[in-house]
Amino acid sequence: MKNTFYEVKSEEYYEEPPILNVSINELNLEIAAFSVYTGAFKINNVGKGNLKGRIFSKNGYASFNPPKWESNEQVIIYRIDTKELIRDYHYKDIWLIETNGGEKEILVDISITYPLLIIDDKNSISDLKEFASYAKSNWSNAKEIFFSPLFISWINNNKNIGFINIYNQITTIKDKDWALEYFLRLAGLKHTPSLWIQENERIIDMSPINNKALLKSLVIRKRGWGLLEGEISSDVSWIRLKKTSFNLMDFDNNKLIVDYEVLADRITNKISLGKIYVKYEDKEIVYNIKLIRKKALTVTFSKKSFKQDDVGVLIVDNYTGEDLMLEVNPKDPWILFEAKKYLIAKHAEIPFRIHMTRWHKIGMGKVPYYDSLIEIQANSKRRIFRQKLIKKIDVVN
């Protein structure tokens, strides 16, 4: 447009002249590349007579509606099309208003930002970091957008060759969920989710007479977001897993509970070691299991040794899960129990006395100490247990 001043004729000022008033003095605009930006401001006459004039952009970055007017109050709508403007550049412009009531220059600073990806009437995305954030909470919608022509146009307009190459390779993957997941990872917009187990070892005590399967569980926790798939396995036959594979949908509040059975009828050793492997991506978690089959019956004494005249306690722990009838038979008459038979449950403490007479000492001869035997036989409805104990008795000559 030719830059000429508005011609003012002398006959227009037979009374007091109009006076131009503009609602803005300058504009600082951030506009997405490859978009059209519109705005408005107001012009009015604060003097007398009728105001008329025109407006134009000195650098041609904006167009106006109307470009000319004859009105004492006028709303000017401006339109800026950024398709010819370069992203990350700043542009200066002057909008000149010429009227019969004076002139006005509006200083305009235009910053061109990343192109906008329009999601809907109310939402738009300015860069890939915002798109990743949107995908985190709106995965299905983000997946549809990712494979749309709109996204292809948007990413091409961003002119990032690295992202464009990743996109072209990733979109050949048939599984659309994983295509989006890999794009976000390779573009550096998210990390692979990670798994962890709070304790990497578990010790399980097993009853000596139990041959039924024990149901146990393993808790796998997740950090991060996004797609995840994995496998679960074991290296021993006595661990039977209820689940051998998993994906993101199996997690509840970032937690996956894996049930497994310990098959007691397949265990022959007193101590058995096994492992559960959790494999995902290129990572592996090892969960160690130590299985201890308890003794049916343990018997101890309250002291390590006893004197010629002393008292003690026979301590019995019963792991059979049944009540037992104990028969206690000392080898020597100077070991005295109140009874020969005792009915016990899980735990029993049976008192006894050591009483060596002069004749006992003579019969045993002059030695610093003597060993004596106490034979214990335990009877239950299912089986009979027998155990012999040797305890040292200190005899002072």
Does the model's pTM come out above 0.75? no
Q: What is the pLDDT of residues 266-290, one digit of tens each?
A: 888 889 999 999 999 999 999 999 9
Cβ–Cβ < 8 Å for 9, 91:
no
Q: What is the pLDDT of residues 156-196, one digit of tens each?
A: 877 778 899 999 999 899 999 999 999 999 999 999 999 99
In degrees, to the nearest 5, what angle opens at C-alpha 196 toward C-alphas 194 and 197? 165
d(CA 93, CA 54): 17
d(CA 106, CA 20): 13
Rounded to the nearest 5°, which phi and psi values hold at 367? -135, 155
Percent of the chain clearing pLDDT 70 (strictly above): 91
Confidence at 303, pLDDT banded by 50, 70, 90 = confident
Please give the average per-residue pLDDT across 242-246, as a whole number: 96
At residue 235, the pLDDT reads 95
Cβ–Cβ < 8 Å for 27, 92:
no
* Count of Cβ atoms closer than 10 Å to residue 321 Cβ: 13
Q: How confident is the prediction for the chain on average, in pLDDT?
A: 87
DSSP state of 17: P
d(CA 82, CA 158): 13
At residue 157, the pLDDT reads 78
Q: Is the pLDDT of residue 299 over 70?
A: yes
Percent of the chain clearing pLDDT 90 (strictly above): 56
Q: What is the pLDDT of residues 186-215, one digit of tens each?
A: 999 999 999 999 888 999 988 777 778 999
Alpha helices in the chain (DSSP H): 128-137, 139-146, 149-158, 161-170, 176-186, 358-364
| Domains of the chain with CATH codes | 10-113 (2.60.40.10), 117-186 (no CATH), 210-293 (2.60.40.10), 297-394 (2.60.40.10)
Q: Is the pLDDT of residue 393 over 70?
A: no
At residue 1, the pLDDT reads 45
Please give the average per-residue pLDDT across 13-29, as a whole number: 87
Confidence at 397, pLDDT banded by 50, 70, 90 = very low
Closest alpha carbon to 191 in 273, 117, 132: 132
Token pair in block for residue 196: 């962890």
Q: Which residue has the higher pLDDT, 341 or 380?
A: 341
Confidence at 294, pLDDT banded by 50, 70, 90 = confident
For the chain, count helices (H), then strands (E). 6, 29
